[in-house]
Structure 1
Amino acid sequence: MNSEQKQLIKATIPILQSSGAILTDYFYKRMFEHNPELKSVFNMGNQANGKQKHALAGAVLAYASHIDNPSVLIDILKGIGNKHVSLNIQAQDYAIVGKHLIASIQEVLGDVATPELVEAWTTAYNELAKIMIDIEAGFYLKNTQTTGAWNGWRSFVIKDIVNESEEIKSFYLYPSDGKEIVSYTAGQYISVQFFVEQLGLLQPRQYSLSTAFNPEYYRISVKRENAISEQPEGMVSNTLHQLNVGDTVNVSAPAGNFYLQDDKAPIVLISGGVGITPLLSMLETNEKNTKNKTVWVHGCRNNAVHAFKDSVATIEKESDWLETYIFNENPDENTEHKIIKGRVDLKKCKEAILLENARYYLCGPAPFIKAHYETLIEFDVDKANIFYEEFGPQSVSLN
């Protein structure tokens, strides 16, 4: 890409800032109209609620803003690449996306989309696609070289289902072929794909692995998303909650760049709601291995929706390296667990979490992550020691 083309890309930044979501909304509608088979690749729930179009708009804006040096986005791109591999996205799929993205720029921007601008964005997209294809090729290659790993989808059977709270169920997934499964690093996820009758489509979702690695099975713990106000119930999570022992689902190999660092540093695990799942895997892995000093901070609405409370309490009781702080918005007076009333407030456990060279792991919805990330920065925690995972399309970019 030459300097003139980069200037043209940067000149579109104000348009992307003001109307990026309009462009991406149009793009998705156009692509699904011409390539409806892609509906089984994309999360159609996030299409309906608008999260995906805003996430893509933010990504396009970030790329335009860093067009002089896109390498600064490499960590974000690796995160996207992990998700693409878990969905079995292939190099040829980028051509389809590029075709509809460039056509959308022309059709939405009209006369503003001069031939020179269209050529600049075509070149920019092709360069980004090349970066992504190369990143993902590395992940695919690693899967072919790792014992127990695979590319694409593999059938797994549900052999056990456990109620962890009023909203969360754990599913124990065993490979249907009985062959070996690949290990993972605590904090990573798998994609799970199954048919959703209400949509008439196969739908994939990413779910964090919620326990330390066991060579026999993968465990995911899924919250049933109920209807709230104008927000409809989650069709995919409710469909999964209706599956039975003996049913099969398609599963991708573990992926993700949010994981427990392999060192002796203290660990601070901060979660909200179902964000507990990857952090529980980290906690259990630490218990099995290094037993680093750990502070567990978790928040949820009440005792009834508090998953894994007994498991964490047992670990704390049997260890001298774990300290817990549990926040409930509406605590149950009869609970056996020590509870702090209200939402998670790191100021109430500041002394406990400010450990020398500690690694901080945040997981939950975007507002939760942003709020507690900012609090940690106020506490003078080094950004390099803060790691986070946002469930759903990535909209948080803090480091």
Structure 2
Amino acid sequence: MSMLAPTTIAIVKSTAPILEAHGETLTRHFYSRMFAHNPEVMPLFNRANQTAGAQQRALAAAITAYAANIDNLEVLGGAVELIAQKHASLMIKPEHYPIVGENLLASIREVLGAGATDEVIDAWAQAYGFLADILTGREKQIYRENAQRPGGWEGFKAFRVDRKVRESANITSFYLVPAAGDGTLPLFRPGQYTTVRVPTADGSTTMRNYSLSDKPGQPWLRISVKREEGPEADLPSGYVSNFLHDRVDVGGEIALAPPCGEFFLDVTEKHPRQLVLLAAGIGITPILSMLLTALEAMPERDIVLIHGSLHEDVQAFKPTLDELARSHPRLSVHYRYSDPQRTDPARSGNASTGLIDAALIESFVPERDADYYFCGPQPFMINIYHELLTWGIPPGQVHFEFFGPRQSLQSRPAPADAPKAG
């Protein structure tokens, strides 16, 4: 893989301001063009995110960041790993990259007009090819690692629902075992996700990522799915979650991809710092996997878990967490409920009303020096990220699963935008 020429780097970098200004227009045009010219790739994309504009915003942010940092790609290392893991979870292969590249370059030319000179298009073609080589190389490694791991596989594999357990008013767990009867399962990293593929009414398929909510080493893979609601133009928002809740029963089969994801707890790291696990709503799923693993692999470590929910009716795994707190003296569990009208903190000595904020976290971690893992709705994530940034917590001690453009983390929402986790 050859490096980019200095002139190419300079040209691409010079386009960053215009891409920042017109990024979403460009990416909307790109997706529309690609789906019209290459409809075969549509099942690889989340149509709900397309309709909501999330996919377009995420791609616009990624393109702008790539252009702005093309002379210092080391700063994008984390983003490259995140993209490669996501691509591997969706079975993106090398043959898909030319399709994306052709449509992206055509959209740059069509949207930017006179600004898209032959020189600019040629520079972006080289830059895209360079990035594609990096991603396909890493994705090839991920595919190989997943296939060679004991119990691993490549592609989608049929799994049977062994148990279906209602965890709350809107969350159900699915215990999944290989349909072929081979009980061997890969030792995934706690915090990772799997990809579920289901059929759609038009004869196609659609996919969603779901965190694995149990610890590695069990004779099943467990996903815990929140029923999502809301309309969408061509595929109902929450289609997959409702499909799983309503149409997949015990004995039914679904297709799973191997576990992927760069958000995980590394149990090989041994140090005395507290482990702080923060979750809001359905964000508890990867956090619970981490907690169950840490309690076994790090019995000497002090652990704090704070789970924010709207109220107890929609809170998953409370009995599990209560039992873990009773049986592990080094574990502190606290519940934060944001709907005081439907919450009675007096029923439990480890609950309060409000939102998860710096004051609550500091009451459990007065020294602040800890390893933080957090997952939940975007406003919750942004607030926690900025609190830890304000505290000066080193980046190596801050870990999160963020759904959406990472650039969104940079703008803190006003208090009125604070989340009410469901």
Q: TM-score, normalised by structure 1?
A: 0.94
Gaps of 5+ in 2: 411-422
The letter of the residue matching 2:332 is E
Partner Cα distance (1:313, 1:391) in 2: 28
**Cα contact 2:193–2:259 (8 A) shared by 1:** yes
Q: Does 1:290 align with 2:268?
A: no
The letter of the residue matching 1:303 is E
CA RMSD, 1 decimal: 2.1
In the other structure, the counterpart of 1:368 is 380
**SS in structure 1 of the partner of residue 198 of structure 2:** strand
In the other structure, the counterpart of 1:345 is 357
Q: Structure 2 vs 1, CA of residues 246 and 163 (structure 1 numbering), >3 Å: closer, same or farther?
A: same
Q: Structure 2 vs 1, CA of residues 151 and 394 (structure 1 numbering), >3 Å: closer, same or farther?
A: farther
**Cα contact 1:225–1:234 (8 A) shared by 2:** yes
**SS in structure 2 of the partner of residue 253 of structure 1:** coil
Return the offset for 1:120.
0.5
Return the offset for 1:233.
4.3
In the other structure, the counterpart of 2:17 is 14
**Cα contact 1:325–1:349 (8 A) shared by 2:** no
**SS in structure 1 of the partner of residue 265 of structure 2:** coil
Partner Cα distance (2:364, 2:312) in 1: 23
Within a 5 Å distance, the mapping from 1:62-73 to structure 2 comes to 62-73=65-76
Return the offset for 1:351.
3.5
The Cα offsets for residues 24-79 of structure 1, whole Å up to 9 and x where unpaired, read as: 01101111111112111111111111100000000001100111122321121111
Partner Cα distance (1:355, 1:34) in 2: 56
**Cα contact 1:189–1:206 (8 A) shared by 2:** yes
In the other structure, the counterpart of 1:310 is 319
Q: Structure 2 vs 1, CA of residues 392 and 169 (structure 1 numbering), >3 Å: closer, same or farther?
A: farther
Partner Cα distance (1:114, 1:91) in 2: 28
Gaps of 5+ in 1: none
Within the candidate set 370, 385, 396, 1:358 is matched to 370
In the other structure, the counterpart of 1:259 is 264
The Cα offsets for residues 197-254 of structure 1, whole Å up to 9 and x where unpaired, read as: 3x65311111100011244210000111123999x74222111211211221110111
Q: Structure 2 vs 1, CA of residues 378 and 393 (structure 1 numbering), >3 Å: closer, same or farther?
A: closer
**SS in structure 2 of the partner of residue 340 of structure 1:** strand
In the other structure, the counterpart of 2:228 is 225
In the other structure, the counterpart of 1:241 is 245
In the other structure, the counterpart of 1:299 is 308
Comparing 352-361 and 262-271, the one that deviates more: 352-361
Partner Cα distance (1:32, 1:25) in 2: 11
Q: Structure 2 vs 1, CA of residues 333 and 356 (structure 1 numbering), >3 Å: closer, same or farther?
A: closer
The letter of the residue matching 2:317 is F
Q: Structure 2 vs 1, CA of residues 385 and 194 (structure 1 numbering), >3 Å: closer, same or farther?
A: same
Q: Structure 2 vs 1, CA of residues 378 and 72 (structure 1 numbering), >3 Å: closer, same or farther?
A: closer
Within a 5 Å distance, the mapping from 1:129-208 to structure 2 comes to 129-179=132-182, 180-197=184-201, 200-208=203-211
Partner Cα distance (1:96, 1:305) in 2: 42
Q: Structure 2 vs 1, CA of residues 49 and 200 (structure 1 numbering), >3 Å: closer, same or farther?
A: farther
Partner Cα distance (1:373, 1:67) in 2: 26
**Cα contact 1:186–1:259 (8 A) shared by 2:** yes
**SS in structure 1 of the partner of residue 278 of structure 2:** strand
Comparing 347-356 and 84-93, the one that deviates more: 347-356
**Cα contact 1:327–1:341 (8 A) shared by 2:** yes
Q: Does 1:109 align with 2:112?
A: yes
Q: Structure 2 vs 1, CA of residues 394 and 149 (structure 1 numbering), >3 Å: closer, same or farther?
A: farther
Within the candidate set 269, 279, 282, 1:271 is matched to 279
Q: Structure 2 vs 1, CA of residues 107 and 228 (structure 1 numbering), >3 Å: closer, same or farther?
A: closer
Partner Cα distance (1:146, 1:233) in 2: 34
**Cα contact 2:152–2:185 (8 A) shared by 1:** yes
Taking only the aligned residue pairs, the percentage that are identical comes to 38
Return the offset for 1:354.
4.3
In the other structure, the counterpart of 2:52 is 49
**Cα contact 1:266–1:356 (8 A) shared by 2:** no
In the other structure, the counterpart of 2:344 is 333
In the other structure, the counterpart of 1:390 is 402
Q: Does 1:250 align with 2:259?
A: no
Q: TM-score, normalised by structure 2?
A: 0.89
Partner Cα distance (2:365, 2:281) in 1: 20
**SS in structure 2 of the partner of residue 325 of structure 1:** strand
In the other structure, the counterpart of 2:90 is 87
The Cα offsets for residues 166-220 of structure 1, whole Å up to 9 and x where unpaired, read as: 11110111111122221111101111101133x6531111110001124421000
Q: Does 1:77 align with 2:80?
A: yes
Return the offset for 1:107.
1.1
Return the offset for 1:132.
0.4
